[in-house]
Amino acid sequence: MTGSAGAFRIGQRVRVRTGAPPHHTRMPGYLRGHTGRVRVIQPPAPLPDDIALNAAPVRQLRVYTIAFTSHALWRQPGAPAHEVLCDLWECYLEPAWEPLKASWPSRSDGAASHDEKKERT
CB 61 within 8 A of CB 2: yes
Q: Which of 3-12, 48-57, 105-114 has the lowest average pLDDT?
A: 105-114
CB 68 within 8 A of CB 36: yes
Distance CA 53, CA 59 (A): 12
Model pTM score? 0.74
CB 87 within 8 A of CB 114: no
Structural domains of the chain, with CATH: 13-120 (2.30.30.50)
Q: In this predicted model, what pLDDT tens digit does every residue of 61-117 receive, in sequence order?
A: 999 999 999 998 988 888 888 999 999 999 999 999 866 555 555 555 555 544 445
Report the number of secondary-structure helices (H) and strands (E) in the chain.
Answer: 3, 5
